[in-house]
Structure 1
Amino acid sequence: MTKSEKLFERAVKRIPGGVNSPVRAYGSIGEAPRFIDRADGCYIYDVDGNRYIDYIDSWGPMILGHNFPAIRESVLKACENGLSFGCATEIEVEMAEFICERIPHVDMIRMVNSGTEAVMSAIRVARGFTGKNKIIKFAGCYHGHSDAMLVSAGSGVMTSGVPDSAGVPKGCTEDTMLAVYNDIGSVKALFEQADGQVAAVIVEAVGANMGVVPPCEGFLEGLRALCDQYHALLIFDEVITGFRLAFGGAAQYFGVTPDLVTYGKIIGAGMPVGAYGGRRDVMELVSPAGKVYQAGTLSGNPVAMAAGLTQLKYLYDHQEIYKELEAKGQMLYGGMEKIAREKGLKVQMNHISSLGSLFFTGQPVVDYVSAKTSDTKAFAEYFKKMLKMGIHMAPSQFEAMFLSAAHTDEIIMETLDAVKLVL
């Protein structure tokens, strides 16, 4: 028995399912999860001493690679002054100024501790600003685990075969309306049905929790137009895409401006951080300035701010990284697509910039329904064989692969050799 297997035996006795987040479980794969000991660059090392090329990147934050020296040093330096004060600090102000001065659609921003908290808070602000209650979201888009958002939420709930969640009262979701991703007609129909009571539309600007599903041409623009027409706010959930597709995230990449945006992952460089921000007139409603209450004891934690601000500054000063990631994405995901095509396999390779997903289905994946046509048993076999060859990916058909600046062309070619053999 390996050390990972022994640790998992211990874990399941004290931690539900043996993991502290369902996405880490290998349940759909039929194995014990690998317990990781350390990471560096594009590699992670498990407790048994195995090295893997990592395409999870801690689910996105490690865009510069694991254990990036400047970030590590900034954290160590911040720790010398204390871990938490429960009071205002200068670095919180620096983080807010840095983002707001460089992201045109963010006039004000509030730091929180997770993407879930950021989304929950942004929705509350949207309701407070508009005086309306209904929210339109999309099947297969995951916006954290707050009650109102656990409706056809994709990602971890898809992996476990549970579409929603027990313990969520019906009343918590009765104002959540479900649209079809990439189908602007379904959104318009909901607006008409809601009779002027839609506070906001929230969307993953690139679907990345039903696997990677990019927006069709005109979809995001259509959402912007409908929100303007019906006086609702447009919220981009950029917990994954923020500072990854471009420094200005999906909003910059696609040229569509949201009213509110949620961030996470990259802005913490691996530390637990989230944020929500947007138009000044909307954000000024947040307490203590306004009537919409939201608080967090550890929000703006100085160690987390040090890590995140160091990463954001590096990305801003080295925006050539985004062009390099585009090229690496085309090399890896385009290469995987070519291999599958040459072998005549019924798979779909969806990708955009550094994000990608290989779906085991013969039909194009453009939304939640088409994503669910994937053969999860085939994916499980693919995953296990890739893991044995030293390639670490998400243990779920419905998650993204993440590239980082640390993935070299040589590493990508090594990965493609494994893909060719396994497929």
Structure 2
Amino acid sequence: MEHRTSRQHVVDMCRTMLERGYLKATEGNVSVRVPSHDCYAVTPSNYDYDRMRAEDISLVGFDGKPLPGSGSGLPPSIECGMHANIYRERPDVNAIVHTHQPYASALAFLRREIPALTDEQVRFLGRKVAIIPYAPSGTSFLAGKVQKKVASGDNAFIIANHGIIALGTDPDRAVFNMALLEKVSLAYLLALTTEAGKVYTIPDAIREIAFTKLRKDEKRIAAQITAAVEPLRVPTDESLPSVAEAARRAVAGTGSAPTTVPAPTVAVPAPTVAAPVPAEAVPGAADSKPGLAAVVAAATDLGSAAGDDPAAAPSATPAEGAAASVTTNDKTAADDVPQPIGAESAALGYAITTYPDVDDTMRRLKALVAQPVRGLRHDAMHDVLNYFETKCRASKEITDRAKLRIPGGVQHNLAFNYPFPLAIDRAEGAYLTDRDGNTYIDFLQAGGPTLLGSNYAPVNERVAEVIKASGPVTGLFHEYELKLAEIINRYMPHIEMYRSLGSGTEAVMAAVRGARAFTGKNVVIKVGGAYHGWSDTMVYGLRVPGTYRMNAKGIPFGATNSTREAFPHDLGLLKRKLIENRLRGGTAAVIVEPVGPESGTRPVPYDYNAKVRELCDEFGALLIFDEVVTGFRLGLGGASGYFGVTPDLTVLGKAVSGGYPMAGGVGGRADVMAVFGSGLDGKNGSHVQVGGTLSANPLSCAAGYFAIEEMARTNAPVLAGRAGDRLTRGLQRIVDKYGLPYVVYNQGSIVHLECSGVMLLDMRHPVKLLKENKPRKRLMEEMSAAYAAHGIITLAGSRMYTSMADTDEVIDDALARFDQVFALVEGV
């Protein structure tokens, strides 16, 4: 065919949109698929459209790698990952326009999708113009969210707080769809401003007829394009050219190239976005059609669009801005792979560099549970107990006194109790010191909140200033209530509003109550074995899946009547419960720990949360993320940011106040959070009842604000995650060295060391549970005591939290101590 280059198509599109006011300066980006090749032509990053020439346009493969010799040496758009994902997902799409045009952008700020308003709209754009959830520009998170949405077959989308995407079977159609979207956006905005503020959509039947016509036209055009593209052949006396050479010939129209070509033999510079999955064969792009400017003018004539180039604009956070320069071959949630983010996660402020292989981890855990317990030799255990008797006498004396006034002698479920509790007098950085002066490496970190290390001076000093000025509590509004909510929103944009409460348990109670009030439904589904605090509703299937009310002593049956349990990993069972609930009034919410029950003790696959999100959307249930442990510990964006999944409500605790008391709160979508409105305004009938005399006190809110500020300044989540990686690798070497069946894995700074596997028992094997629960729990206690006797404090001998204070020297010291303990195991 006559081949006007795909690069010239891009230039023509840009100039037309520039003339008509849809583009300005360097904003947005445009691409066109190269016919019969797994690559596309795309605008360069931060380059003025007025000066753009065909030779400035970059050619980028579907693997995300720029092809050598294209683009005048200019870097391609930072949104290459987004464009590649669209072309892979939609073979019918041959041109993409991404702009920040004003009227559609206004809807992006409102996060308001456009329903089916006119036949013309549906005929060209699709059933509706959906909102793509927010993600930072130029990241694989955004590319993954876009890919998921464009699978609907629609041709126009609004990206929350960003701009729009218009797709077309050819360059003309993409530009036409972009202009039509702006016209519809303007009309919709005007309708919303009327006194009625209500719009009426076209009948569903008409909408479906128009949409069917759209899909038929797209298939017809795609078939015509494919038929029009001549097969590219290589003379028999010529060796097969590289991908880059084949693309150059196709674009220039000066030679032939094979239909299938080998990988480049020359190293190609890495892209500035996460590389997507390998592409499949797709049909080529159409010739440029005449009358491009006329098509645009016919759609609408609006004034200049305003906006900034995403490459030049500051990112949502300093960490997010680094994503554009990260090289990685890892993939996003949309790619359904177990190791999704890799190096990019560190650049974005995330602690997990490699997500654990869940299938392999579960296989090893099941193998551990299948064999008899293997603990310390009797003589070694005698020495451990002797340490406590001789070196910890002051702790024993004071905790024996405590038994007279405190039930059980301790107040904390995480307290070390075997053979008796240790009384801690000092905590600093990576260390704890007990009443007897013994020093320990602190891998408990108070159960997770002290990500900066214990007793972190820069936060303490700032909090002291606040207490000096206002005291710890006033009972009235204080500026740090707002500052804390704002800084949480800065790093977790999906938390549009935030209500501070007294603990993670209170926050879960509020989230469940709010979900029920918002949806008008009662049933809440949790994952068996997960811990969501100790409220009546959530003490159900606690720690051991399938135990239902086994731990619910003192809780009336009515309190758990609307709580359901699904086994970990079993999405089929979760869906069945959602179906059952739909027949009984529906499901208010599904609540999950994003890394798996009990902080990842039963780890879930990387794509698990995304699939739960889809099920919640399908059945009209809210998704609640319990991020009491993962919030800020996995990264500044929490588990939601790492997994690229947006919950409706998020529960925070622990790290949200930097280890200070009253750490808890619930946040999320503004419309859902509206049910938590407070104050004596006479509207309590429309609000759920939550409160607390000490909730949102100046001390806790200031501590949270300054702690998060320090986490961002120091990159604490990433540093703690690196410490977790180093600890995990070292522990695995020691386990292998002694041939032990123990299982080691980590999710960033959450490190799991399973020696007994007691947490892996469940009610699907009740005889084994009843028979082995006690001996396996006893082994966990004994290992915990052995670690302490060698100078290491863990959480129940099976979990460790690392912090920014855990330097390489601290980790290596700990590993030497673990080596000493494992050398004492039976059979070594």
Q: Same fold (TM over 0.5)?
A: yes
SS in 2 for 1:84: coil
Mapping for residues 204-215 of structure 1, pairs under 5 Å: 204-207=593-596, 209=598, 212-215=601-604
SS in 1 for 2:537: helix
Q: Tell me how far apart the structure 1 counterparts of residues 450 and 691 of structure 2 sit (CA, whole Å).
A: 27
TM-score, normalised relative to structure 2 = 0.48
Are positions 1:387 and 2:774 aligned together? Answer: no
Q: What is the identity, as a one-letter code, of the residue corresponding to 1:216?
A: P
Q: Which residue of 1 aligns with 2:533?
A: 144
Contact conserved, 1:214 with 1:351, CA < 8 A, in 2?
A: no
Match of 2:449 among 41, 49, 61: 61
Match of 2:494 among 98, 105, 111: 105
Q: Assess, with a 3 A threshold, how the Cα gap between structure 1 residues 318 and 249 changes in structure 2: closer, same or farther.
A: same
Bigger drift between 167-176 and 330-339 goes to 330-339
- How much is the aligned-residue C-alpha RMSD, in angstroms? 2.4
| Post-superposition CA distance 1:324-382 (Å, at most 9, x none) | 33322121012212221232212211311000121125899698979977833333332
Q: Tell me how far apart the structure 1 counterparts of residues 514 and 762 of structure 2 sit (CA, whole Å).
A: 28
Q: Which residue of 1 aligns with 2:818?
A: 419
Q: What is the identity, as a one-letter code, of the residue corresponding to 1:164?
A: N
Contact conserved, 1:38 with 1:46, CA < 8 A, in 2?
A: yes
Q: Which residue of 1 aligns with 2:631?
A: 242
Which ranges of 4 or more aligned residues in structure 1 deviate by more than 6 Å?
366-374
Contact conserved, 1:112 with 1:299, CA < 8 A, in 2?
A: yes
Contact conserved, 2:624 with 2:649, CA < 8 A, in 1?
A: yes
Q: Which residue of 1 aligns with 2:664?
A: 274
Q: Which residue of 2 aligns with 1:21?
A: 412
Cα deviation for residue 211 of structure 1 reads 6.1
Contact conserved, 1:212 with 1:355, CA < 8 A, in 2?
A: no
**Which one has a bigger Cα radius of gyration?**
2
Q: Tell me how far apart the structure 2 counterparts of residues 24 and 363 of structure 1 sit (CA, whole Å).
A: 18
Q: What is the identity, as a one-letter code, of the residue corresponding to 2:706?
A: T
Contact conserved, 1:108 with 1:280, CA < 8 A, in 2?
A: yes
Cα deviation for residue 422 of structure 1 reads 1.0
Q: Which residue of 2 aligns with 1:223?
A: 612
Are positions 1:32 and 2:420 aligned together? Answer: yes
Q: Assess, with a 3 A threshold, how the Cα gap between structure 1 residues 281 and 392 changes in structure 2: closer, same or farther.
A: same
Q: Which residue of 1 aligns with 2:272?
A: none
Q: Which residue of 2 aligns with 1:317?
A: 713
Q: Tell me how far apart the structure 2 counterparts of residues 217 and 97 of structure 1 sit (CA, whole Å).
A: 29
Are positions 1:334 and 2:729 aligned together? Answer: yes
Q: Which residue of 1 aligns with 2:401?
A: 10
Cα deviation for residue 25 of structure 1 reads 5.0
Q: Which residue of 2 aligns with 1:73?
A: 461
Q: Which residue of 2 aligns with 1:306?
A: 702
Q: Which residue of 1 aligns with 2:352?
A: none
Q: RCO greater where, 1 or 2, for CA within 8 Å and sep 6 or more?
A: 1
Q: Tell me how far apart the structure 1 counterparts of residues 636 and 763 of structure 2 sit (CA, whole Å).
A: 28
Cα deviation for residue 164 of structure 1 reads 1.1
Identity %: 38
Mapping for residues 39-58 of structure 1, pairs under 5 Å: 39-58=427-446
SS in 1 for 2:437: coil
SS in 1 for 2:675: coil
Q: Tell me how far apart the structure 2 counterparts of residues 91 and 329 of structure 1 sit (CA, whole Å).
A: 32
SS in 2 for 1:192: helix
Q: Assess, with a 3 A threshold, how the Cα gap between structure 1 residues 293 and 365 changes in structure 2: closer, same or farther.
A: same
Q: Assess, with a 3 A threshold, how the Cα gap between structure 1 residues 146 and 216 changes in structure 2: closer, same or farther.
A: same
Cα deviation for residue 232 of structure 1 reads 0.3
Contact conserved, 2:499 with 2:666, CA < 8 A, in 1?
A: yes
SS in 2 for 1:137: strand
Q: What is the identity, as a one-letter code, of the residue corresponding to 1:304?
A: S
Q: Assess, with a 3 A threshold, how the Cα gap between structure 1 residues 183 and 202 changes in structure 2: closer, same or farther.
A: same
Match of 1:408 among 801, 804, 807: 807
Q: What is the identity, as a one-letter code, of the residue corresponding to 1:200?
A: A
Contact conserved, 1:180 with 1:367, CA < 8 A, in 2?
A: no
Match of 1:265 among 654, 664, 669: 654
Q: What is the identity, as a one-letter code, of the residue corresponding to 2:743?
A: Q
Cα deviation for residue 229 of structure 1 reads 0.2
Q: Assess, with a 3 A threshold, how the Cα gap between structure 1 residues 217 and 306 changes in structure 2: closer, same or farther.
A: closer
Are positions 1:356 and 2:751 aligned together? Answer: yes
Q: Tell me how far apart the structure 1 counterparts of residues 632 and 654 of structure 2 sit (CA, whole Å).
A: 9
SS in 2 for 1:80: helix
Q: Tell me how far apart the structure 1 counterparts of residues 652 and 804 of structure 2 sit (CA, whole Å).
A: 20
Q: Assess, with a 3 A threshold, how the Cα gap between structure 1 residues 339 and 368 changes in structure 2: closer, same or farther.
A: farther
Bigger drift between 169-178 and 338-347 goes to 338-347
Q: Tell me how far apart the structure 2 counterparts of residues 368 and 219 of structure 1 sit (CA, whole Å).
A: 22
Q: Assess, with a 3 A threshold, how the Cα gap between structure 1 residues 260 and 56 changes in structure 2: closer, same or farther.
A: same
Bigger drift between 177-186 and 340-349 goes to 340-349
Cα deviation for residue 396 of structure 1 reads 5.0
Q: What is the identity, as a one-letter code, of the residue corresponding to 1:181?
A: P
Cα deviation for residue 112 of structure 1 reads 0.4
Are positions 1:122 and 2:518 aligned together? Answer: no
SS in 2 for 1:45: strand
Q: What is the identity, as a one-letter code, of the residue corresponding to 2:475?
A: G
Q: Assess, with a 3 A threshold, how the Cα gap between structure 1 residues 270 and 14 changes in structure 2: closer, same or farther.
A: same
Q: Assess, with a 3 A threshold, how the Cα gap between structure 1 residues 198 and 280 changes in structure 2: closer, same or farther.
A: same
Cα deviation for residue 15 of structure 1 reads 0.9
Q: What is the identity, as a one-letter code, of the residue corresponding to 1:408?
A: T
Q: Which residue of 1 aligns with 2:45?
A: none
Q: What is the identity, as a one-letter code, of the residue corresponding to 2:667?
A: G
Contact conserved, 1:348 with 1:361, CA < 8 A, in 2?
A: no
SS in 2 for 1:149: coil
Contact conserved, 2:756 with 2:779, CA < 8 A, in 1?
A: no
SS in 2 for 1:285: helix
Are positions 1:167 and 2:167 aligned together? Answer: no
Q: What is the identity, as a one-letter code, of the residue corresponding to 1:108?
A: M
Cα deviation for residue 174 of structure 1 reads 1.1
Bigger drift between 95-104 and 195-204 goes to 95-104
Contact conserved, 1:126 with 1:282, CA < 8 A, in 2?
A: yes
Bigger drift between 43-52 and 193-202 goes to 193-202
SS in 2 for 1:147: coil
Cα deviation for residue 323 of structure 1 reads 2.9
Q: What is the identity, as a one-letter code, of the residue corresponding to 2:552?
A: S
Q: Tell me how far apart the structure 2 counterparts of residues 381 and 188 of structure 1 sit (CA, whole Å).
A: 40
